[in-house]
Amino acid sequence: MSDSDRHINFKLMRDHILALQDAETPRGAKKYWRSLDELADTPVFREFVEHEFPQQAEGWNDPVERRTFMKLMGASLALAGLSGCVFQPPEKIVPNVKQPEEHVPGKSLFYATAAPLFGAATPVIVRSNEGRPTKIEGNPEHPNNWPVDFPPEDPVRDPRGSSATDIFTQASILSLYDPDRSPTPTFREQISTWTTFVGAMRSALDEVRSKPGATIRFLTESIISPTLGAQMKDLLAALPQAKWHQYEPANRDNARGGAVMALGQPVNTTYRFDLAQRILSLDCDFLSPIFPGYVRYSREFIARRRITETNREMNRLYVVETTPSNTGAIADHSWEVKPSEIEAIAKTIAAGVGAQGGGASVNLAWIEPLVRDLQQHKGASVVLAGDGQPPFMHALAHAMNNALGNVGKTVFYTDPLEVESVDHRTSLQQLVGDINAGMVDLLVIVGGNPVHNTPTDLKFTLELLQKVKLRVHLSEYRDETSELCHWHVPAAHYLESWGDTRSYDGTVTIMQPLIEPLYEGKTAYELLAVFSDKYDRKPYEIVKSYWQKQRSGQGQGQTAGTRNNQSSQQTLARAPERTPAAATPTPAAPSPSPSQDFEVWWRKTIHDGFVPDSAFQAKTVSFNSGWASQQTPAQPPPAGGFELVFRTDPSIYDGRFANNGWLQELPRPLTKVTWDNVAVVSPNSAQQLTGEDDNGGAVKGREHYVPVVAITNPQGQSIEAPLWIMPGQPDGVITVHLGYGRRLAGKVGSGEIGMGTQNEIVGFDAYKIRTSFAPWFIAGAQVRRVTGDHLLATTQLHFNLEDPNFSTEERDVVRSQTLEQFLHGEVHEDEKHTHPSLYPDYPYSNQDENTPNYAWGMAIDLNNCIGCNACTVACQSENNIPVVGKHEVVRSREMHWIRVDTYFSGFDPNHPEGINFMPVPCMHCENAPCEPVCPVHATVHSAEGLNDMVYNRCVGTKYCSNNCPYKVRRFNFFLYQDWNTPTYQLMRNPDVSVRSRGVMEKCTYCVQRIQNAKIQAELEDRKVKDGEIVTACQAVCPTEAIVFGDVNDPNSRVSKLKRSERNYSLLGELNTRPRTTYLSQLKNPNPEIKA
């Protein structure tokens, strides 16, 4: 029904109701209605509702839903009819042309804030359209995102700050609009109100306070927010009997333990990869988004790999790892070893570099040259240990950095990010001990989902929790933990809340909300305030008063940060033109009062998105002498069995993103599995387990089915998991990913939607076999094949590496060469495929003398790509790309406009020579094969070289997709887009069409951004500047692998890249002449190490 019809119907109905009321009331007496309910609750209205909104009418019997609905309907009735605002009066009216400040309809606003998803926060700029946040980008003004000054004089370096983020930050906008988020507080499953909750808490508090003994416990995740930390400390001071515990499943206890072991104190370690020439990672996946500071680190790391005219040196990355990772794929040398072997290797290397705690115990040919290489780069190397490695390994890494003179040069120590750094395992142990001892009456769980993710020996079960009289849980979803708590309070999303947080180096961002809470979400600040005297404070007051106090206490005595101030000013100078969100603060008056001064500071800080110079100062640390003797003797691995490795899931982390469809459907970087987690083993081990021939992990003849295995840990706990064969996985090691098997994640994460007809739990719950004493790996696990196969949705089927017919090398898809080959000019990639043609080329550079002629193009540097998938999610967010669900992915119908292909090279599936990533968007071919085959002109070439897709004209023959050699076109086989959920309607980018069923779609080079920039340029009577247009994938790429621009302009970055010797066209021999070209990858192997 069209809107106007609806209005007319409302009008008719209003007349009807009024007529009835008139009949009931004595003539002349005016009928008033007392509430909207009364107005709405007439038979006529009900009938109207049933006719117009049958789906809502179903909720009539549910008193709660009915009330809400009546409220809404009553309001719209009153507004639509009685107040008469919908229709303009017939008389001529004169609008007030004064426009609300900062508001131009159709123009986006940008606001700076930070995404505190887990660990360190990511500083972001959020785009807002008519008050709806629609896209998240990194904050280029934030010190973390300042340009890397390496290599010097790089012609293609982006002089601006980076707007990179990661997959989790990109996808968090979907979580904001998730209709499954918990809408209201509940008490014992009944809907309640915040006021009732506050009342209940206050009385509970009084009760507890009157009783002797320590009976209140707070359980939080790691708290980084300074305000929240201060609140918590104040709370503990006011309630001496209360205790604060912290637990996160993917905690950094090991890193903390290692620091305490070696340095005597918990520290936050930060790195300068732009200064590091040699890097040794001991099972540390620092190029994956779960590593704090990853966005900065990956950019610095890649900058060191960029070869220019002046810089002919690359850094070299050595990785020793227990399961293949993105970092291992990028590495110049990677060795896959069993978890039980890595410590001996690390010790041998440590002994080689002369670090304390070392001891030569293994004899491997590559160790000696590696050690020599590290020693030759003293002060310019970095050694890292992974979070999964025991504290000893972290201590060893600290010792090696110390021995190599890296501390203070490439490795810095600062105070921990957390307000209070604790050992999570101990903290949880104490809490469980207290609960078991009956010492806890009130348990307040602030965030987290301990019922799902606590280790098996400290599991939050119903039995355990029943010993606590009153349990409160704050979380965004009504999850497994909420189910077992009396009170559940919905948490506000970070885009709905005020707050503060820190990024990896400690720089503070004061977060501002972009939107009022969509549901009745409350922040942790508000929740903690309930337990303090000022229990009704708003988060804005809490945060602002905290900072006011800080400022007045400290005065102006802010210390300088680690980055130099010059670049700080350069970058900041551009801030106002970028973000019109808050007015640029006027220069302070000569002698402002302190409060005025604070207001100015507060506005500027919120506007810029960070507190200047708030990064932690590097501090000097002293090494504990004799720390190495503290180490507990390594337990001999139990004979036999598999070594079991736990990892957080690359897409849904520890399970907190389980209900995020974008992340669920994001192909995992190496396996390309979506909607599931898998148990990863090597081809050899798989054969041993299943007795089947290697078939890419799939059960023979059924491409998407894989065998199921039972994994039993040494404690006898067992789970069943689908088996996935991963080339490069060490034999005898099985890796499982945490976070899946969520029973109450929401409709997406628990398999109610997106999974086709089967209502199945998504993935398996690896927490069921994870213990607190071996959280990351354990030896002696038993694995056996059980009956049954599992349907997996992968976006890229893996084929037998041994068969030359499948070899990607022969197909020349991804190209890789060594630095040496490149410097000697042995490889020239840009072979010209010249095919004669009868038709002259289209004159992109000389069409019209009066208007600028652009020819858009893109260059993707494979040397920079770390396979992080951020481009895929950013594109999904920018271009309103739907989620299709597991069963559609099984049928190869995923909709991603840019995908990251993964290729294994070499011929031995057990030991691949390398893993390569290749982002593939639409190539925008000059001779696009898709264009001439479309019978209705739905895909046409633009005068600027774009291969445009006209959705409205598309009838869906799918011929273009068939004829695309890159298979980048995506088809709406069904109505994939959710047209009904109102929150999703708010989320969409208004500049991009929402595609319907039966049309083809594909990458447009973010044509909406091109048009915006062109309109702006035209208004200002100039050409679009190079770098002014940034596609979504380019903006998000932490390593600047994707560069977009005008290829007509010989000085544009993209033109310079395309002139590189490494530049090549994918499938160039087909004469498609793609606009998107690739630069081959460079590897810098140690010549002394034989592959």
Partner 1 sequence: MDEAQKPYTEGPMHSTAPVIDPGLTFASVTDKISSIVLKRKTSLAWFFGFAISFALFQLMMLAITNLLFVGIGVWGVNVPVAWGIDILNFVWWIGIGHAGTLISAILLLLRQRWRTSINRFAEAMTLFAVAQAGMYPIFHLGRPWLMYWLFPYPNTMGIWPQFRSPLMWDVFAVSTYATVSAMFWFVGLIPDFATLRDRARSKPFQILYGMLAMGWRGSARHWHRYEMAYLLLAGLATPLVLSVHTIVSFDFAVGIIPGWHATIFPPYFVAGAIYAGFAMVLLLTIPLRRFYGLEGFITMRHMHNMAKVMLATGLIVGYGYMMEAFFGWYSGNKYERFMIWNRMHGPYHLYYWALILCNIITPQFLWSKKIRSNLLALWIISFIVSIGMWLERFVIVVTSLHRDYLPSSWGMYQPTVWDWSMFIGTIGFFFTLLFLFIRFLPMISIFEMRTILPEAEVEE
Residues found near partner 1 in the complex (CB under 8 A): 703, 796-797, 799, 805-806, 808, 810-811, 813, 888, 891-894, 899, 901-903, 918, 920, 929, 932-937, 953-959, 961-963, 965-967, 969-975, 997-1000, 1066-1067, 1070, 1072
Taking the least distance from each CB to partner 1, the nearer of 290 and 918 is 918
Q: How far is the CB of 698 from partner 1 (least distance, A)?
A: 10
Tell me whether residue 891 or residue 1059 sits nearer to partner 1 (CB atom).
891
Question: What's the sign of the alpha-carbon dihedral 647, 652, 653, 656?
Answer: negative
Six-digit token pair at 676?
């599931």
Quick one: 937 or 1025, whose CB is closer to partner 1? Answer: 937
- Tell me how far CA of residue 783 lies from CA of 324, 696, 741, 1073, in angstroms: 20, 19, 19, 50
- Closest distance of CB 667 from partner 1, Å: 10
User: At closest approach, how far in Å is the CB of 696 from partner 1?
Assistant: 11
Nearer to partner 1, 267 or 928 (CB): 928
- Tell me the closest approach of the beta carbon of residue 955 to partner 1, in angstroms: 5
d(CA 94, CA 31): 33
Do the beta carbons of residue 719 and residue 763 sit within 8 Å?
A: no
Q: Which is nearer to partner 1, 92 or 700 (CB)?
A: 700
Closer residue to partner 1, CB minimum distance, 456 or 796:
796
Which residue type is seen at 18? L
Q: How far is the CB of 513 from partner 1 (least distance, A)?
A: 39
Burial class of 965 by CB neighbour count within 10 A (0 to 12, 13 to 18, 19+)? middle
Whichever of 530 and 889 has its CB closer to partner 1, that residue is 889
Here the tokens at position 386 are: 């992974």
Q: Which is nearer to partner 1, 365 or 797 (by Cβ)?
A: 797
Q: Which is nearer to partner 1, 543 or 938 (CB)?
A: 938
Nearer to partner 1, 929 or 1027 (CB): 929
State which residue, 538 or 811, has the beta carbon closest to partner 1: 811
Please name the residue that has the structure tokens 């809404």: 72
Given the complex with partner 1, which of 131 and 932 has the nearer CB atom? Answer: 932
Beta strands in 369-492 (DSSP E): 381-385, 411-414, 442-446, 470-475, 487-490
Rounded distance, CA 499 to CA 114, Å?
9
Nearest distance, CB of residue 931 and partner 1, angstroms: 8
Convert 984-1020 to b/e letters by CB count within 10 Å (16 or more is b): bebbbbebbbbbeeebbbbbbbbbbbbebebeebeee
Closer of 60 and 799 to partner 1 (Cβ)? 799
Calpha distance 16→821 (Å, rounded): 85
| Minimal distance, residue 814 CB to partner 1, in Å | 10
Distances (CA, A) of 293 to 121, 289, 565, 721: 9, 8, 20, 32
In the three-class reduction of DSSP (H, G, I as helix; E, B as strand; rest coil), residue 753 is classed as coil
**Rounded least distance, CB 835 to partner 1, Å:** 13
- Asked if residue 278 lies in contact with residue 377, where contact means CB atoms within 8 angstroms, the answer is yes
- In angstroms, the CA 374 to CA 401 distance is 10
Q: Which is nearer to partner 1, 660 or 807 (CB)?
A: 807
Residue 384's SS3 state is strand
Alpha helices in 799-939 (DSSP H): 808-811, 819-823, 870-878, 886-890, 930-933
**Residue 790: CB minimum distance to partner 1, A:** 17
Report, in Å, the least distance between residue 961 CB and partner 1. 4
Phi-psi region of 507 (alpha: psi -120 to 50; beta: other; left: phi over 0): beta
Least distance to partner 1 from the beta carbon of 940, Å?
9
Q: Dihedral sign for Cα 366, 369, 373, 378, please.
A: positive
DSSP 8-state secondary structure symbol assigned to residue 458: G
**For the purposes of burial, counting CB atoms within 10 Å of the CB of 950, is it exposed (0-12), middle (13-18) or buried (19 or more)?**
middle
Question: Whole-number minimum distance, CB 953 to partner 1, in Å?
Answer: 8
Burial 151-165 (b: 16+ CB within 10 A, else e): beebebbbebbbbbb
| 928 or 946: CB nearest partner 1 | 928
Minimum separation from the CB atom of position 279 to partner 1 (A): 29
Reference 1009, options 132, 123, 122, 135; nearest CA is: 135
**Burial, 289: exposed, middle or buried (Cβ in 10 Å; 0-12, 13-18, 19+)?**
buried
**Shortest gap between Cβ of 691 and partner 1 (angstroms)?**
22
Give min distance, CB of 922 to partner 1, in A: 13
Q: Are 801 and 909 a contacting pair, CB within 8 Å?
A: yes
- The answer to whether residues 383 and 404 touch, using CB atoms and an 8 Å cutoff, is yes
Mark 14-50 as b/e (b = at least 16 C-beta within 10 Å). Answer: beebeeeeeeeeeeeeeeebeebeebbebeebeebbe
- Tell me whether residue 555 or residue 935 sits nearer to partner 1 (CB atom): 935
Give dist(CA 62, CA 145) in Å, integer: 51
Residue among 717 and 963 whose Cβ is closer to partner 1: 963
CB of 722 to partner 1, least distance (A): 18
The alpha carbon of residue 737 and the mean position of all alpha carbons in its chain are separated, in whole angstroms, by: 17
Q: At 397, which amino acid appears?
A: A
Vertex 913 angle, CA 833 and 372, to 5°: 115
**411: its two tokens:** 């490795």
Q: Would you say 795 or 1055 has its CB closer to partner 1?
A: 795
For the bound state, the minimum distance from the C-beta of residue 261 to partner 1, rounded and expressed in Å, comes to 45
Closest by CA to 292, choosing from 269, 272, 267, 260, is 269
- The full DSSP string for 611-629 is -TT-SPPP----PPTTGGG
Q: Measured from the CB of residue 877, what is the shortest distance to partner 1 in angstroms?
A: 21
Q: Answer whether 322's CB lies under 8 Å from 728's CB.
A: no
